[in-house]
Amino acid sequence: MKTIVEAKRVKKIYGGKGNVFTALDEIDLTVREGEFVGIMGPSGAGKSTLLNVLATIDEPTSGEIVIDGTSILTMNEEQLSAFRRDKLGFIFQDYNLLNTLTVKENILLPLALAKMDVNELEQRVNEVADKFGIQSILDKYPYQISGGQKQRTAASRAIVSKPSLILGDEPTGALDSKSATDLLESLKSLSEHDHATILMVTHDAFAASYCQRILFIKDGKLFTELVKGNLSRKEFFHKVLDVLAALGGGASDVI
Amino acid sequence: MTLFDLAKKNMRGNFTNYIVYFVSLVFSMVIYYTFVSLQYSEQIQQNILLSETMNFMFMASSFILILFVAIFILYSNSFFTKQRKKEVGLYSMLGLRKKTIGRMLFYENLIMGFIALIVGIIFGALLSQLFSLILIKLMGATADIDFGISLEAVTQTILVFMVIILFTSIQGYRLIYRFKLIELFHAEKKGEQVPKVSVVSAVLGLALLAVSYWLILRPFPEELTNEYIQLNYGLAIVILIIGTQLFFRSATVYLLKLLQRNKKRYYRGTHLIELSQLMFRISGNARTFTLIAILSAVTISFFGATYGGYYGNESRAKEDSVFSYSHLSRGQAFDSQVESIIKNDKEHPIKAQLDLPVVEADGELSFPLDYLIEPTKIISQSTFNQVSEALDREEHVTLMAHQAAVIKPRATEWTEETFKGQDVSLKTPQGNHHLEILNMVEGSVLPFHYPDFFVIVNDQVFSELAQTIQPLVYKVYEVEDEKTTEATSKMLDKLVGGDFQTSPSFYLEYKEGKEGNALNLFILGFLGLVFLAATGSMIYFKQLTEAHEDKPNYEILGKIGVGKTDIRKSIRKQTLFIFGLPLLVGIVHGSVILHFISRLMSNLIGANMFIPMLTAMSAFVVIYFGYYLLTVTTYNNIVNK
C-alpha cells in the first residue's frame, strides 16, 4: 500500500517572546492508503493543530509534511488552493456549508471548481447522495435541514471529488448517536470498500472505535498508538477507554 | 441598573457592530444637510426664484434625496437588526420582559440617531463649506456664496431625521413582538424569499417606464406654467421610480434564473458561488438597484446640465460676437490705431483679418415674417465665403444674379422651409432689386445687432448696390487663444464702444456669460456632487455590510480549495453585476431626463447640448468605475485577507 501522509518532526509553536506555547512537539505520522486513522487526546493536546497543519490551513513552525508524494511546505498560496481542491476532503464539526447554496450545489461545489463535465458531475453527486442517504433533501437549503443531514452533506462534499485524503475534525461532535453511527458507518465503508484514506480527530471513544488505528497525543507529543487488528469494535472501544483513562481527561466525555 | 444604562452599555460594548450602521446614518445626514444648506443659502434662493428650471430641479432633487435618505437608513437599519436578532432572542430567553426589551431597543436607536445627527450636521457644515470653495474656484465665479451654518438648514435636517429615527426606533421596539423567538435565533442564516417571476409585474414595470418616458418627452405645452411642470414631471418621477422597482424585481430574478438554468455553465468554476450569492439577497438587490439607477440618472442629468451650461456659454458667446474683435471702420487713422493695438498683443497673433462691406437697404419679403427687416443688411457672396473660411465653417454659398440667400437671424427658430422659394426685394434709390431666395444658411458674420437680418447676394449684384448706397465697412480680426484676451479686449471696448448691441470682442462676451451663469452652474454642479456622493455611498456601504456578512462563506471556500485569485475574480464579477445593471438603466433614464433638460436649457441659452451631455455621461461612468474599483478592493480586503 502506498503512503499517503508522511509527516516528520512537525513542530508548531504559538506566541512570541516570553509567552511561547508548543502545540506540536516533533510529531511523526505516517498514514497509508485506505487507512482509517483516529487522533485522540485531551483538550489542548494539539489534535486540531495537527489536523490544520495537515490540511494546509495552518503552517508548521518546522518539520516536513508530504501528502500523496507532494511536499506541502514548499507550495505557494495558489498551489495550496489547488492542492486542497484536488487532494483533500474536509468534514468539519460545524459543517461549513454555504447557506446560499442548496444541498446538491454544496456537494458539487468541489467538482464545479475543478471544472468537471456536467454529466459526470451529476452522476457523481447522485452516487454520493445515495451513499449517504440524502437524495430526498438535495434541493433544500442548509438552514432547512437537521444537523445530521448537514453533516452527511458535508461528508458527501468531502468525498465527492475522490480526494487522496479525507480529514475530519470532530465530525460527530454535534450529532446525536444515531446520526453519528450512520456517519461513522459510512466513513468505515468508504475506507474498506473504496480504499479512501481518512484521518479523523475526535475526543469521542465511540467514534474512535470505528478506526483501524488510533494515535493518542498529549501535550503536543505522540503518547501512544492503538491498532484494532482483529479485535471486535466493542473490544477496541474498551481498549480506547483504558488508554484515555491513563491519559487523563477526555475519558469523562464518555459515559 | 436602569434600562437606559443597559441600552448605553449595549452600544458601548458592541460598538464595532454598530459602527457600519452609525456611519451610514451619518453619511446620509451629511448629504442631506449639504443639500439643504445649499437650498437655504440666500443668493441661491434668489436665483431659484428667477429660474423655473432651477426651481424644478430643486423640487425633484429634494424629493429624490428624501427618498434616498429614507430608504438608505431603513435598509441599513434592517440589516443592522438582522444581525442582532439573536441577541434580542437571548434577552428574551434570559427572562427579560418583551416590553423591557422593546424599550431598550427603542432607546438605543434613539440615542444612536441623536449622536449621528449631531456628528452629521457638524460634518455637513464642514463639507458644504469645502464644496463651495472648490466649486467657486472651478467656476471662476465672482459670485460670493456664503455657506454659514444656516439655522433653517439645521432645523430642517433635524426635523426630517427625527421622523426617520423615530420610525426606526419604533420598528426596533416592535421587533420583539413581530417575530417568534425561534425566528430570532435563526435570523442570520435565512436567505431572502426569491420573488416569483411574474409576467404581470414585468409588463406593468415596462408599461410604467414607458408612461413616465412619455410624460417627460412629450412636447412642451404652449405656455410652460409652474403647475404644469410640477404636476407633469412630479408624476413622471413617481411613475419612473415605481416602474424601475418593478422592472428590477422581475428582470433580475429572470436573468439570474436564466443563468442558473444552464447547468453546463452554472456548474463550472465559481459561477455557482456568484449567482447563488446574488440570488440570496435578491429583493434587497432589486431595491438597491432601483435606487442606484434613479440616483445615477439624476447625477448624470445634473452633470449634463452643468457641463452643458459651461459649454453652451462658449458656443453662445462665439455665436453672438463671431470674431475675436470687430468694429466699424471710422477712417484710416482710427482703423490703424485699432490694428496696432491688436498687433501689439504678441500673445494672441492674428489668424485672420477681414474687411466686411455691408450695404443697408430697406427690404421687403413676398410673405409676412414676424421680424424687423428694415434695414436689411446685405453682404456679398464672397464676403460670406471669406468669413466661413476664416472661422473654419462649413457653409459656402454660390448664387446666380437673380438669387439671394438669407442668414438665419440669431435667437429665432426659422428653418429653410420658411424662406425657400420666396422672394425678397431690396429698395435702392435707383429702383428695386427682385431676388429669389435660394436657401437659408447658418453662420452670422458680425456681432449681434438687432435687427439681425442679413441677405447674401451675388458679387455682381452687390457691386451694383454698392454704387448707389455707400457700404459700411466692418473690420474683423480672429486671433489665437481668444479666450484669454482680457487686456486687449478691454482697451478696444473703450475705443470702439457701441458699434453693436453685444460687446465688440469675443472675450468680454464670453466672460460676461460665464459670470452670469456661474451661480446656476454652481448649483447644478453642487447637486450633481451631492447625488454622486449619495450613489457612491449607497453601493459602497451595501457591499461593505454584505462583505462582513459573507466573510464566513469565503473562509469556507478557502478551506475547500478556492484560491485567492479565484475569490478575487468572483468578487469582481459579483460587484460588476451590482454596479453594471443599475448603471445601464440609469444611463437610459438619464438620457431621457437629459433630453428634457436640454430642451429646457436650449430655450434659455440656445445651445446644442448633445456633446456636453455625452461628456457628462462619460465623466459619470468614469467616476462610477472608480467607485467600482474601490468597492472591489475593500470587499476583497474584508473577505480575502
| pLDDT grade for B254, boundaries at 50, 70 and 90 | confident
Helix/strand/coil (H, E, C) string of chain A? CCEEEEEEEEEEEECCCCCCEEEEEEEEEEEECCCEEEEECCCCCCHHHHHHHHCCCCCCCEEEEEECCEECCCCCHHHHHHHHHHHEEEECCCCCCCCCCCHHHHHHHHHHHCCCCHHHHHHHHHHHHHHHCCHHHCCCCHHHCCHHHHHHHHHHHHHHCCCCEEEEECCCCCCCHHHHHHHHHHHHHHHHHCCCEEEEECCCHHHHCCCCEEEEEECCEEEEEEECCCCCHHHHHHHHHHHHHHHCCCHHHCC
The residue in chain A having the minimum alpha-carbon distance to the alpha carbon of residue B191 is A100
- Range name among B7-11, B401-405, B421-425, B553-557 with the lowest pLDDT average: B7-11
Same domain? For B320 and B334 the reply is no
Would you say residue B200 lies in a domain? no
Q: How much is the pTM?
A: 0.73
Would you say residue B519 lies in a domain? yes
Question: What's the rounded mean pLDDT across residues A108-123?
Answer: 88
Task: Look at residue A251 in the predicted model and tell me its pLDDT.
Answer: 44
- Range name among B48-62, B538-552, B554-568 with the lowest pLDDT average: B48-62
Question: What's the rounded mean pLDDT across residues B559-580?
Answer: 88
Number of domains present in the structure of chain A = 1
CATH assignment of the domain containing A143: 3.40.50.300
- Chain B residue numbers with beta carbons less than 8 Å from the beta carbon of A115 are 268-269
Task: Look at residue A35 in the predicted model and tell me its pLDDT.
Answer: 92
Would you say residue B523 lies in a domain? yes
Same domain? For B447 and B592 the reply is no
- Chain A residue numbers with beta carbons less than 8 Å from the beta carbon of B279 are 100
Confidence check: pLDDT of A249 > 80: no
CB-CB under 8 Å, A96 with B556: yes
Would you say residue B202 lies in a domain? no
CB distance A32 to A56 below 8 Å: no
- Chain A residue numbers with beta carbons less than 8 Å from the beta carbon of B271 are 112
Condensed to tens digits (0 to 9), the pLDDT of residues B62-72 reads 888 888 888 88
Which residue of B194, B267, B272 is the best one to mutate when testing the A interface, meaning the one whose CB has the most A CBs within 10 A?
A: B267
Q: Which has more confidence, B301 or B210?
A: B210
* The residue type at B91: Y
Chain A to chain B Cβ contacts (< 8 Å) = 88
Q: How close are the terminal C-alpha atoms of chain B, in Å?
A: 41
Task: Look at residue B239 in the predicted model and tell me its pLDDT.
Answer: 92
Task: Look at residue B47 in the predicted model and tell me its pLDDT.
Answer: 67
Confidence check: pLDDT of B519 > 80: no
| pLDDT grade for A254, boundaries at 50, 70 and 90 | very low
Query: Residue A214 — left, alpha, or beta (φ > 0 → left; ψ -120 to 50 → alpha)?
Result: beta
Which grid coordinates belong to B336? Answer: 490703424
Same domain? For B479 and B525 the reply is no
Measure A237 CA to nearest chain B CA, in Å. 32
Same domain? For B238 and B347 the reply is no
Most confident by average pLDDT, A216-225, B314-323, B589-598: A216-225
Question: What's the rounded mean pLDDT across residues B178-185?
Answer: 76
CB-CB under 8 Å, A98 with B563: no
| pLDDT grade for B189, boundaries at 50, 70 and 90 | low
* The residue type at B340: S
Confidence check: pLDDT of A112 > 80: yes
Task: Look at residue B338 in the predicted model and tell me its pLDDT.
Answer: 86
The residue in chain B having the minimum alpha-carbon distance to the alpha carbon of residue A125 is B267
Measure B94 CA to nearest chain A CA, in Å. 24
Same domain? For B393 and B497 the reply is yes
For the beta sheet containing A3-14, the strands, ordered from the edge strand earlier in sequence to the opposite edge, are A21-32, A3-14, A62-67, A70-71
Task: Look at residue A255 in the predicted model and tell me its pLDDT.
Answer: 42
Task: Look at residue A253 in the predicted model and tell me its pLDDT.
Answer: 47
Would you say residue A2 lies in a domain? no
Same domain? For B450 and B335 the reply is yes
Measure A85 CA to nearest chain B CA, in Å. 4
CB-CB under 8 Å, B273 with A98: yes
Q: Which residue in the set A92, A97, A112 is minimally distant from B269, CB to CB?
A: A112
Task: Look at residue B24 in the predicted model and tell me its pLDDT.
Answer: 83
Confidence check: pLDDT of A252 > 70: no
Task: Look at residue A31 in the predicted model and tell me its pLDDT.
Answer: 92
Same domain? For B294 and B366 the reply is no
Measure B204 CA to nearest chain A CA, in Å. 30
Same domain? For B313 and B332 the reply is no
Q: Which residue in the set A85, A108, A122 is minimally distant from B561, CB to CB?
A: A85
Question: What's the rounded mean pLDDT across residues A104-127?
Answer: 89
Would you say residue A235 lies in a domain? yes
Confidence check: pLDDT of B485 > 90: no
Question: What's the rounded mean pLDDT across residues B172-188?
Answer: 76
Would you say residue A51 lies in a domain? yes
CB-CB under 8 Å, A121 with B559: no
Same domain? For B587 and B637 the reply is yes
CA dihedral B391, B395, B401, B407 (to 10 degrees): -80
Question: What's the rounded mean pLDDT across residues B559-570?
Answer: 86
Q: Show which of B485, B504, B523 is a domain's final residue.
A: B504
Question: What's the rounded mean pLDDT across residues B208-215?
Answer: 92
Same domain? For B311 and B263 the reply is yes
Most confident by average pLDDT, A76-80, B72-76, B191-195, B354-358: B354-358
Q: Which residue in the set B267, B279, B565 is minimally distant from A112, CB to CB?
A: B267
Would you say residue A100 lies in a domain? yes
Question: What's the rounded mean pLDDT across residues B239-256?
Answer: 87
Would you say residue A11 lies in a domain? no
- Chain B residue numbers with beta carbons less than 8 Å from the beta carbon of A122 are 263
Task: Look at residue B188 in the predicted model and tell me its pLDDT.
Answer: 54
Task: Look at residue A126 in the predicted model and tell me its pLDDT.
Answer: 92
Number of domains present in the structure of chain B = 3
Q: Show which of B442, B476, B504 is a domain's final residue.
A: B504
CB distance B607 to B515 below 8 Å: no
Q: What span, in angstroms and rounded, lies between the C-alpha atoms of B251 and B257?
A: 10
User: B280 touching A, CB under 8 A?
Assistant: yes
Would you say residue A18 lies in a domain? no
Would you say residue A113 lies in a domain? yes
Would you say residue B82 lies in a domain? yes
Task: Look at residue B190 in the predicted model and tell me its pLDDT.
Answer: 60
User: B270 touching A, CB under 8 A?
Assistant: yes
Same domain? For B233 and B286 the reply is yes
Would you say residue A29 lies in a domain? no
| Domain that residue A156 falls in | 35-61+76-250
Most confident by average pLDDT, A204-218, B143-157, B544-558: A204-218
The mean of the pLDDT values for chain B is: 82
CA atoms within 13 Å, Cβ hemisphere of A186: 26
CB-CB under 8 Å, B272 with A112: yes
Confidence check: pLDDT of A38 > 90: yes
Confidence check: pLDDT of B631 > 50: yes
- Range name among B148-162, B211-225, B581-595 with the lowest pLDDT average: B211-225
Condensed to tens digits (0 to 9), the pLDDT of residues A58-100 reads 889 899 999 888 888 888 888 888 888 888 888 887 888 888 8
Task: Look at residue B120 in the predicted model and tell me its pLDDT.
Answer: 92
Q: What span, in angstroms and rounded, lies between the C-alpha atoms of B360 and B356?
A: 13
Would you say residue B196 lies in a domain? no
| pLDDT grade for B604, boundaries at 50, 70 and 90 | low
Condensed to tens digits (0 to 9), the pLDDT of residues B383-403 reads 999 888 888 888 888 888 888
Place of cell 465559481: B270
Would you say residue B410 lies in a domain? yes
| Domain that residue B331 falls in | 325-504
Confidence check: pLDDT of B109 > 90: no
Task: Look at residue B315 in the predicted model and tell me its pLDDT.
Answer: 78
Same domain? For B453 and B534 the reply is no
CB distance B253 to B295 below 8 Å: no
Confidence check: pLDDT of B522 > 80: no
The residue in chain B having the minimum alpha-carbon distance to the alpha carbon of residue A113 is B269
**Structure ipTM:** 0.80
Question: What's the rounded mean pLDDT across residues B261-269?
Answer: 84
Task: Look at residue B147 in the predicted model and tell me its pLDDT.
Answer: 61
User: B277 touching A, CB under 8 A?
Assistant: yes
The residue in chain B having the minimum alpha-carbon distance to the alpha carbon of residue A76 is B563
Task: Look at residue B167 in the predicted model and tell me its pLDDT.
Answer: 92
Q: Show which of B457, B478, B504 is a domain's final residue.
A: B504
Condensed to tens digits (0 to 9), the pLDDT of residues B492-516 reads 888 877 777 777 888 888 877 777 6
Confidence check: pLDDT of B211 > 90: yes
Q: What span, in angstroms and rounded, lies between the C-alpha atoms of B280 and B183?
A: 18
Which residue of A54, A87, A101 is the best one to mutate when testing the B interface, meaning the one whose CB has the most B CBs within 10 A?
A: A101
Q: What span, in angstroms and rounded, lies between the C-alpha atoms of A165 and A34?
A: 9
Q: Which residue in the set B263, B280, B561 is minimally distant from A82, CB to CB?
A: B561
Question: What's the rounded mean pLDDT across residues B255-279?
Answer: 84
